[in-house]
Structure 1
């Protein structure tokens, strides 16, 4: 059983990919095959994805993107997965030494340029894609998918019927609309359906809105002169709203340290997710 989706099958090795989400980068490719999709605030209050793939669940087209640069918030999220392959297009010059010292296999074009290519649908820098099987071949020691705190099973009693729910960042919004026919919440971003090039509209059976005490870069990284980069803390605790099976469950999240997974609770008990892809929106409090 996969510890990341609750679906049958053997756990494979982990590839995490930083995927752009600015309007010019849409529609994305390959994201529907991710086991877990994190939406994280970046400069200007916009959002970017950190998608976690199991090597046994790669996109049928063997393409993921558009790939963009890594951010400081990514590393604490990934620590709970172990030492994984982390694919990104680049990073701030001052952030590169931090990435080099981090507990990840750095898989940017600096380390493995043949695994990346430029697509034809968008203009640079919104058209860089990767071939995931090539990354996994070239970096074969990535950690195997393991328990990061998710629990799967039948929906708990309680919850509030919720046909639609919107999570927000300063300059981005995610609206999740329940589709009983597809048994998942369909995603709209900034008021428009979130399409993909290869799998129709984005959607997942479990959506987690994890409220975080958004702050600025602990290391003083700046996206532009005088403007500190946003930073989403994922160690600590806070409120969380879980959407599944057409209902919303108001609960909490907790993660005591970087080496621990993230526990999600509802009514004093572990919150169970619906088996399948999990989305986690790191929404500023």
Structure 2
């Protein structure tokens, strides 16, 4: 079940001519034409030049490394990651993020936004375009937002909200294949992101309150129900499934019925905590591609799952920039166990099965 899969390795440097093409595409956005169209976004069709480079070796110590707690006062990076079809697989960097959001986009597809504090991840991607409601979760962490291209609403919101963002910047991204028609192969690294942030003098410190608190040691939920299998159907084609391993005290993650693999380690993704946040979503009126509005502000219900157990929770968020609060049945904020957390921003109309 946890069999590794093989994949083509490679890394390439960003080309100046390709960046000029990308800039032209972004300029076209300003006329009202959205460069991120569905199902094949044209801004993602812009390929960076391929130059053969040694690929980072898989991190053989990945499972042995202790959890790197999010550090108070340090700004993290939030990166838009492709999850469309199978060409994007395996994605890179998900295993090293402390927090990962999965949210629906147009066509019933989902997209990921891993958030990194202090990690030295060498392959993060494939990087894709912004959606405006992802900003709401990036801002509550005071994160530097990384993407290539944007929807019209995201393009308007990023400057309006003053979001520090890295959008297809020179020298930060590269393609890992030679296929010029492959718009799902663009990667970055934490080193490249940090170099760019230093160059443009983005603020690296934060006085924002941390979204989550953590237990110092692993802790069991009380008054909880069994949660050894968690199945989330975002749509008919996009499903996230978790299966608990009692020996490892981790959930193994599956994507659309198959083990979800990390590119760097070639191993199946695991997580310690799962938060399911039920939200309302609907098509944006007049959007020809069926892009979504997601009600991130307000309140609702959900679940917190860890160590094979589950409790019902409620969530609330007072504004787009404020943090989401996740409360247990007694009205106390949940405290996470040390380890990675997947936050499933899940449609209220979707199907959830917890066993």
TM-score using structure 2 length: 0.70
In structure 1, what is the Cα distance between the partners aligned to 2:339 and 2:304? 14
Cα offset, 1:121, TM superposition: 8.7
Give the match for residue 66 of structure 1.
126
1:200-219 alignment, distance < 5 Å:
200-217=267-284
**Aligned length, in residue pairs:** 270
Give the match for residue 260 of structure 2.
194
Greater gyration radius: 2
User: Which residue, out of 259, 264, 274, partners 2:337?
Assistant: 274
In structure 1, what is the Cα distance between the partners aligned to 2:141 and 2:72? 16
- The answer as to whether partners of 2:141 and 2:211 remain within 8 angstroms in 1 is no
> Which ranges in structure 2 are unaligned for 5 or more consecutive residues?
1-66, 349-355
Cα offset, 1:275, TM superposition: 1.1
Tell me whether 36-45 or 88-97 shows the greater mean CA deviation: 88-97
Cα offset, 1:264, TM superposition: 1.1
In structure 1, what is the Cα distance between the partners aligned to 2:184 and 2:125? 9
TM-score using structure 1 length: 0.86
Q: SS of the counterpart of 1:228?
A: coil
1:1-285 alignment, distance < 5 Å:
7=69, 12-22=74-84, 23-54=86-117, 56-59=118-121, 62-82=122-142, 84-92=143-151, 95-109=154-168, 112-120=169-177, 124-140=182-198, 141-144=202-205, 146-153=208-215, 154-170=219-235, 171-199=237-265, 200-217=267-284, 220=285, 222=287, 225=288, 227-268=289-330, 269-285=332-348
Q: SS of the counterpart of 1:64?
A: coil
- Does the C-alpha gap of structure 1 residues 270 and 156 become closer, same or farther in structure 2, counting only changes over 3 Å? farther
- The answer as to whether partners of 2:74 and 2:205 remain within 8 angstroms in 1 is yes
Q: SS of the counterpart of 1:113?
A: coil
How large is the Cα RMSD of the aligned pairs? 2.3
Q: SS of the counterpart of 2:148?
A: coil
Q: SS of the counterpart of 1:137?
A: helix
- Does the C-alpha gap of structure 1 residues 35 and 163 become closer, same or farther in structure 2, counting only changes over 3 Å? same
Q: Deviations over 1:218-270 (max 9, x none)?
A: xx573xx3x43112222111111111011111111111222321111122122
In structure 2, what is the Cα distance between the partners aligned to 1:158 and 1:10? 31
- The answer as to whether partners of 1:85 and 1:105 remain within 8 angstroms in 2 is yes
- Does the C-alpha gap of structure 1 residues 278 and 147 become closer, same or farther in structure 2, counting only changes over 3 Å? farther
Cα offset, 1:10, TM superposition: 6.8
Q: SS of the counterpart of 1:211?
A: strand
In structure 2, what is the Cα distance between the partners aligned to 1:161 and 1:241? 12
> Which ranges in structure 1 are unaligned for 5 or more consecutive residues?
none
